[in-house]
Structure 1
Amino acid sequence: MLKLPPISLYIHIPWCIKKCGYCDFYSYVSKKKIPEEKYISNLLKDLEKDLKLIYTRKINNIFIGGGTPSLLHHKSIENLITGIKKRTKLSKFTEITIESNPKLIEYKRFKNYKKSGINRFSLGIQTFNSNLLKKIERTYNKNEAIKAIKEVKKINNNFNIDLMYGLPNQSLKNALSDLKYAVKYNPTHISWYQFTLEPNTSFYKKKLNLPCENIIFQILHQGEKFLKKSGYIKYEISSYMKLQYKCRHNLNYWNFGDYIGIGCGAHGKITKINGDIIRTIKNKNINQFINGKYLNSKKLILEKDKPFEYFMNTFRLYQPIYKKHFQERTNISINQIKNNVKKALEKKYIIENKDSWETTKKGKIFLNSLLEIFLN
């Protein structure tokens, strides 16, 4: 019998105060009152439909993302968590994360979020430089960002700070200053990733003065050195943890685990008992969604595409990739990829051990080239 992978739950809250020019996530700026009650009710109905696909598996982790989930009243979050617990089994140590906008953090609301079951907070700070925040169209300044961190620290020890580097006109000094501010408040986790311009964003058409490759390299090199010195372990391309505070939900993605995605525009990946893997995308039309039309598309991952999909996630991690794990998660023999592996070894992108593969430093630098080897 096929060993099914662990499963997480992603919940998409689509509303935002303002759409940032670099953001390519599905979000919706509402000029009217948010229909929280109706949306939560339909999220739970959406969940009920997907639960039929996961058999008896327990939900290991929950991530509430967006958009801006912290726009919702604490009662809405409480009803959501309570509704999930009534409908499914959660593992004993389920991690429940909510993404938060620094502009919207209110001590009382966040204290109630924790009472509802939220045990991890993720703050989308991006930078502590007020001028850069304005340039990338964030709705808060440096002082508000710092205040938000202090408020969350009062409520919960386990929290993440999201930062970006390579911002328009950002210098090496400014980028390192962001890390120094973040480390000062001792978060358990820091997500530090490069600012990029995606084709379907308003910034893509603008001529932004982004740092050159040499400055980006210096930022990354010196920033990683500083984080390591400050006690943070790099376990994924853009993720740094203290002790064992990995983001369990994202770690499940990167290990090619399964996840249900509910809410407008949410993506899901579910392995069936016969070894088939399907990807789901939910309806992006908010009016249709709250009137019961949840599923937009359901697509089977073809056998020939499974290796690429698997390695696209696992090669991001700084850990061995076990051959047994590959076979369990894809239901494919390693003999089917021996020529691809041989080519990756020749390019010195990976090294091979008896039971595992590992990406080399060169493989991490040229990750896209490495992945192309497994692309059919």
Structure 2
Amino acid sequence: MISPASILGSQSPQLKALPPLSLYVHIPWCLKKCPYCDFNSHEIRGESTQVSEKAYVAALIQDLELALADVWGRRLCSVFFGGGTPSLFSAQAIDTILTAVRTLLPLEHFAEVTLEANPGTFEAQKFADFRKAGINRLSIGIQSFNPQHLHALGRVHDDQEAHRAVEIALKNFDNINLDLMYALPEQTLEEAQADIKTACAFGVTHISAYHLTLEPNTLFHRFPPKLPEDEQAAAMQDMIEQTTASHQYRNYETSAFTQSGKESRHNMNYWLFGDYIGIGAGAHSKISFADKIVRQMRYKQPKEYLAKAQAGESLIQTRHELTAEDRGFEFMMNALRLNGGFDALLFHERTGLPITAVQKQLDEAEQRGLLVHDHHRIKPTVLGRRFLNDLLQIFLPEKTI
């Protein structure tokens, strides 16, 4: 198989222009750790959230200040507060962070600023204050509107709180995403349909519907619940696609459904191999330079992250440059999640590699019916979307012994 490195020889791939830049802010605390969650999140466990909040906000701002040298002069196209449960923090804390962001790295006009929220943390005034602080998009972790399934998933909210959360959000925000999950323990097709119909009926701008998977290092992985069979889960996926389409939502990414023009700009930047600074415990960054692309990860444990910040030390635990092979694979791993695919010229623009670097893989994927491509556009077929892992595996770099 032809590799990008063999095409380029010893020459380092060069980028003629830098991609858009986003900011991800990780807030790692939750009221309770869900049994399916493998994110870097930690239960509060009685610690003073005010003390933790104040110290953590200071560390985040320091983290961003230290990152400036790598992105000086660039503007942010989006900001995303993820977790954990960012809505546990006060509106004042979010306002303090965003004020620092605007001071250090200017935002593009009408930049998307998203806050993830848990229905168990909703207070009407608090969310009105989030809007005043500069949050213009809300992403609510509903997961299900069914009380039995919420209990099985270990969620801290019930179905009534889920409905109330969406109603409060609709009064304060006009750009809202609802996160749902399907193929839940003991879930029937009819129950999955009730969830997606309820979400659509609210008329929110965006819906994400994720297949529940048993991730390593989770309680569900150690003690697996009984999940629907693969055939039934596939039927749920088909039903979700049909139901959202009937409510004028477009399925633009594997798990994402949007009203016209309301795609997640932050996630689109990820999927099209854009750059992002990740600040906060365990946050990841991808930063492009003319002659290299660098990935970084912050210290993962909140206590260690805070201790490093307070000692004035570097908050970056790991840093590595992407090889030419890594660039090609990572671009495809992200961009092929998009149902409409990507412009063929974007591959060279974002990786510095000619499209011929992956030509053999593209041809193999097309021969297997997983992808279609021409000189203008590359996109997965319906079969490729259904068997996305098989499609992506074709682009995996070969391991040398």
Once residues 341 and 37 of structure 2 are traced to their aligned partners in structure 1, the CA distance between those partners, rounded to angstroms, is 32
Q: Deviations over 1:289-320 (max 9, x none)?
A: 22314111111111112111001000000224
Matched, 1:277 2:260: no
- Per the alignment, residue 53 of structure 1 pairs with 70
- Per the alignment, residue 155 of structure 2 pairs with 138
Query: Which residue of 344, 348, 367 corresponds with 2:365?
Result: 344
Question: Counterpart of 1:199 in structure 2: which amino acid?
Answer: P
Query: Which residue of 32, 37, 46 corresponds with 2:47?
Result: 32
Superposed CA RMSD in Å reads 1.1
Matched, 1:11 2:25: yes
Once residues 70 and 188 of structure 2 are traced to their aligned partners in structure 1, the CA distance between those partners, rounded to angstroms, is 49
Query: Which residue of 313, 333, 336 corresponds with 2:354?
Result: 333
- Per the alignment, residue 325 of structure 2 pairs with 304
Superposition pairs of residues 100-179 of structure 1, within 5 angstroms? 100-179=117-196
Deviation of 1:361 after TM superposition, in Å, equals: 1.0
Which ranges of structure 2 fall in alignment gaps of 5 or more residues?
A: 1-14
Once residues 326 and 366 of structure 1 are traced to their aligned partners in structure 2, the CA distance between those partners, rounded to angstroms, is 22
Q: What is the SS of the residue equivalent to 1:53? A: helix
Deviation of 1:166 after TM superposition, in Å, equals: 0.3
- Per the alignment, residue 9 of structure 2 pairs with none
Once residues 16 and 321 of structure 2 are traced to their aligned partners in structure 1, the CA distance between those partners, rounded to angstroms, is 17
Deviation of 1:341 after TM superposition, in Å, equals: 1.5
Question: Counterpart of 2:113 in structure 1: which amino acid?
Answer: I
Of structures 1 and 2, the one scoring higher in RCO (CA 8 A, sep 6+) is 2
- Per the alignment, residue 289 of structure 1 pairs with 305
4+ runs of 1 displaced by more than 6 Å? none
Query: Which residue of 116, 128, 139 corresponds with 1:99?
Result: 116
Question: Counterpart of 1:342 in structure 2: which amino acid?
Answer: D
Deviation of 1:126 after TM superposition, in Å, equals: 0.0
Q: What is the SS of the residue equivalent to 1:290? A: helix
Once residues 38 and 198 of structure 2 are traced to their aligned partners in structure 1, the CA distance between those partners, rounded to angstroms, is 27
Once residues 364 and 167 of structure 2 are traced to their aligned partners in structure 1, the CA distance between those partners, rounded to angstroms, is 50
Q: Deviations over 1:76-103 (max 9, x none)?
A: 1111111111111110011000000101
- Per the alignment, residue 249 of structure 1 pairs with 266
Q: What is the SS of the residue equivalent to 2:364? A: helix
Q: Deviations over 1:5-39 (max 9, x none)?
A: 00100000001000000000001112211211111
| Compared CA separation, residues 226 and 334, structure 1 to 2 (3 A) | same
Matched, 1:357 2:378: yes
Q: Deviations over 1:164-195 (max 9, x none)?
A: 00000000000000011111211100001100
Q: What is the SS of the residue equivalent to 1:138? A: coil
- Per the alignment, residue 34 of structure 2 pairs with 20
The answer to whether the 8 A contact 2:25-2:81 is kept is: yes
The answer to whether the 8 A contact 2:338-2:379 is kept is: no
Q: Deviations over 1:107-139 (max 9, x none)?
A: 111111100100000100000010110111000
Once residues 76 and 93 of structure 1 are traced to their aligned partners in structure 2, the CA distance between those partners, rounded to angstroms, is 22
Once residues 323 and 155 of structure 1 are traced to their aligned partners in structure 2, the CA distance between those partners, rounded to angstroms, is 40
Point out the more displaced range, 81-90 or 340-349. 340-349
Question: Counterpart of 1:32 in structure 2: which amino acid?
Answer: E
Matched, 1:261 2:278: yes
Which ranges of structure 1 fall in alignment gaps of 5 or more residues?
A: none
- Per the alignment, residue 221 of structure 1 pairs with 238
Once residues 220 and 163 of structure 1 are traced to their aligned partners in structure 2, the CA distance between those partners, rounded to angstroms, is 12
Once residues 231 and 264 of structure 1 are traced to their aligned partners in structure 2, the CA distance between those partners, rounded to angstroms, is 38
The answer to whether the 8 A contact 2:339-2:385 is kept is: no
Q: What is the SS of the residue equivalent to 2:304? A: helix
- Per the alignment, residue 8 of structure 2 pairs with none
Deviation of 1:203 after TM superposition, in Å, equals: 0.8
Q: Deviations over 1:118-165 (max 9, x none)?
A: 000010000001011011100011001001110111111111100000
- Per the alignment, residue 314 of structure 1 pairs with 335
Once residues 331 and 288 of structure 1 are traced to their aligned partners in structure 2, the CA distance between those partners, rounded to angstroms, is 36
Q: What is the SS of the residue equivalent to 1:218? A: helix
Deviation of 1:356 after TM superposition, in Å, equals: 2.1
Point out the more displaced range, 327-336 or 347-356. 347-356
Point out the more displaced range, 216-225 or 98-107. 216-225
Once residues 361 and 224 of structure 2 are traced to their aligned partners in structure 1, the CA distance between those partners, rounded to angstroms, is 39
Question: Counterpart of 1:277 in structure 2: which amino acid?
Answer: I
Q: What is the SS of the residue equivalent to 1:52? A: helix
Deviation of 1:243 after TM superposition, in Å, equals: 1.5
Point out the more displaced range, 180-189 or 162-171. 180-189
Point out the more displaced range, 283-292 or 76-85. 283-292
Question: Counterpart of 1:17 in structure 2: which amino acid?
Answer: L
Deviation of 1:340 after TM superposition, in Å, equals: 1.3
Deviation of 1:344 after TM superposition, in Å, equals: 1.3
Point out the more displaced range, 281-290 or 16-25. 281-290
Q: What is the SS of the residue equivalent to 1:339? A: helix
